[in-house]
Amino acid sequence: MAKITIKDVARHAGVQPSTVSRAINNHPNILPETKARILNTIQELGYVPDRAAKNFRTGKTRSISVILPITGSDFYNRLLNSIDETLEEYEYDAGVYPLLSERRLSRYQDPSALPYHTDGLVFASLNPNHLYENLFSIQGLPAVVLDISTPNFDNVTINNELGGYLAGMHLQERPAETFVINVEELFDTPFTSGVFAQRVKGFQKAQQEAGLRFEEDQLYTSAFTMRSVRETARLLLQERKGKINVFTTCDFFAYGLIEEVRLAGLTLGDDVRIVGFDDEPQAQDLGLTTLHQPVEEMGHTLAQMLMERIENPDLPVRSVQFEPILKVRSTT
Amino acid sequence: MAKITIKDVARHAGVQPSTVSRAINNHPNILPETKARILNTIQELGYVPDRAAKNFRTGKTRSISVILPITGSDFYNRLLNSIDETLEEYEYDAGVYPLLSERRLSRYQDPSALPYHTDGLVFASLNPNHLYENLFSIQGLPAVVLDISTPNFDNVTINNELGGYLAGMHLQERPAETFVINVEELFDTPFTSGVFAQRVKGFQKAQQEAGLRFEEDQLYTSAFTMRSVRETARLLLQERKGKINVFTTCDFFAYGLIEEVRLAGLTLGDDVRIVGFDDEPQAQDLGLTTLHQPVEEMGHTLAQMLMERIENPDLPVRSVQFEPILKVRSTT
DNA sequence: TTGAAAGCGCTAACAT
DNA sequence: ATGTTAGCGCTTTCAA
């Protein structure tokens, strides 16, 4: 059986292809009864518009690509969900492109790669200026960036420095030896968003303002695996002298620390006070004091900005910053 | 500035559009020097082929869609990576479509939804026969299924029952009261792949063959959150009488159990022996005995099958099953 | 309100 | 080996 096209529908409904097109695209100038008849015929024949033809003809795909580091955190799931929600209002769809390997990254240097075959791009925690050997790949494609303040792209960020500052201020309520567990940030990779460094910077600022010291020996680093986190936490707990305060630059690090605190027979919220960052669902389960990010608002704003830029590419570059909120729970 | 098309390149290089097309598509019948000249011109002009036009003209997108439940586990990352690897040989690309919400699922009922605008589909741990109100959405689109043996689609599975059986046999080496922690499987959702039930079934078989009892009171269930896992593990440990054997139907459950074993001051591998399932990186870190899945081979096979079916849609339905391998470590 | 016709950019069959 | 030409399915002017 041959493919059913708009011509077949037209013939069966006794109209011209252009009228069928008007019927399926909610064009105003069409008689309701004509439209109804055509829609009926479409049902009968099981006609499905050829998206490739439509994309080609209109020069629009009504879809965008979300490019992100390896996926799966609660943060990215919520982000994608909220982007989806906003896109739906515009009848747009999103495809997800996790940068899981070097191979993928190098393939995406090619401007005709799949992700760029859409009307716009979201870069989540990724800096397009570092991702590409040159920006030719995404020439003229509307793009918005999450987590990184770029001068040449619309961007949505959270005030990470303020988050670190709030963590610092809060921990100062109970004076004690103070530590930070941060991620081992690799320099000069396309995956360096800089958010963690900003969190530490804000924390440092709070310490300085209070006349408290913050030296290298107070800063521990860990890789992004539970094993590494546990080792780091164990080391930190061994080297402590009395009661301590710890700021972990993400909740994930706090989980490992909490385990080690329990294993060491210490009391959470007293011997060891902890502030995390992200407010993942598990943070609430564990009673972890942490900095909440308004992920949904960020996603909505991001998607909204992209839609606006697709509609009007000449808009000036916009930058929106959200503020984290300290959620005080039982670990402090 | 107007868009640069194949015509512009042709004019600049002093050839016809069809020759340019031959140059960029590695057509055999073209003089190497002509090809070189054209490729030069393309560089100069910064010509990028219009993918929409090409898709339209050829009726192929040279891309596939991977549809999966919420992403992020090590399993899915490795799977996507291995699919990518195989696709590269065919010069195909993959877009990822996580089913993060009910909204997405219902949007994807529409045959003209974004994921179907490709040459083929991979369903990972998802049964297309349950996903769709009717299969019209994916009419005629080549599709392969991971984790579920479907009569109407090519599929790649792992012998989960054998995995459970091996776990059971292995734990029997040290006679003790025996338990299983399984996921609370929700019935009749599109997300029910049935793999967990099969693991339990295989375990049960091992028990029966050895003349050992396996009753309801030995089966614990947990939700897929660390909180729930911990609670379940605590309950199990409280109710035990002496030394015990535990089969957790995924590694994630074993992590929580291991923590609770430590907290309770019990000895792993003696008081409590554990076998997990999946062999995630953390399993190795923790010394967890577990069932290894050959994820990469599965991904390669899946992608290979899909490419073959795209090339030849009339192939009979094929089914490939892999076998899990027991990795014995220190928890048993 | 509907019809007629052109054409988006590319590839492929056929001609040379 | 290259040129010529038709046309993929759709939307969008323009005309009626």
pLDDT tops 80 at residue B206? yes
Which residues have C-beta within 8 Å of that of residue B12, sequence separation ≥ 6? B41, B44, B45
Does the CB of A58 sit below 7 A from strand D?
A: yes
- For the segment 28-47 of chain A, residues whose CB is within 7 A of strand C: 28-31, 34-35
Domain boundaries, chain B: 6-49, 63-157+295-321, 160-294
Can you give A162-182 as a three-state secondary structure string?
HHHHHHHHHHCCCCCEEEEEE
Could you give the 3-state DSSP secondary structure of residue B188? coil
**Nearest Cβ partner of B112 from A49, A56, A71?**
A49
Query: Which of these, B124, B116, B293, B126, lies nearest to B199 by C-alpha position?
Result: B293
Please, are residues A20 and A4 in contact by the beta-carbon 8 Å criterion?
no
The 10s digit of each residue's pLDDT in B240-281 is 999 999 999 999 999 999 999 999 999 999 999 999 999 999
Give pLDDT, residue A193.
80
Question: Quick check: A48 contacting B, CB < 8 Å?
Answer: yes
Q: Tell me the mean pLDDT in the region B277-303.
A: 97
- CATH placement of domain A160-294: 3.40.50.2300
B110 touches chain A (CB under 8 A): no
For B196-247, give the DSSP string.
HHHHHHHHHHHHHHTT----GGGEEEE-SSHHHHHHHHHHHHHH--S-EEEE
> Tokens standing for B237?
């440990």
**Per-residue model confidence (pLDDT) at position A302:** 98
Q: What is the pLDDT of residues B108-164, one digit of tens each?
A: 999 999 999 999 999 999 999 999 988 888 988 999 999 999 999 999 999 999 999
Domain B63-157+295-321, CATH: 3.40.50.2300
Task: Among A84, A101, A286, select the one facing B101 at the smallest CB separation.
Answer: A84
Number of Cβ pairs < 8 A linking chain A and chain B: 125
Q: Do A117 and B263 lie within an 8 Å CB cutoff?
A: no
Taking contacts as CB-CB distances below 8 angstroms, the residues of chain B near A139 are 46, 48
Is there a common fold for A63-157+295-321 and A160-294?
yes
Find residues 69-98 of chain A whose CB sits inside 8 Å of chain B: 70-73, 76-77, 80-81, 84-85, 88, 93-98
Decide if pLDDT at B192 tops 80: no
- What pLDDT is stored for residue A194 in this prediction? 87
Residues A133-164: tens digit of each pLDDT: 888 889 889 999 999 999 999 999 999 999 99
| Cα separation, B280 vs B251, whole angstroms | 7
β-strand pairing of B325-327 with B289-292: antiparallel
- Give the CATH number of domain B6-49: 1.10.260.40
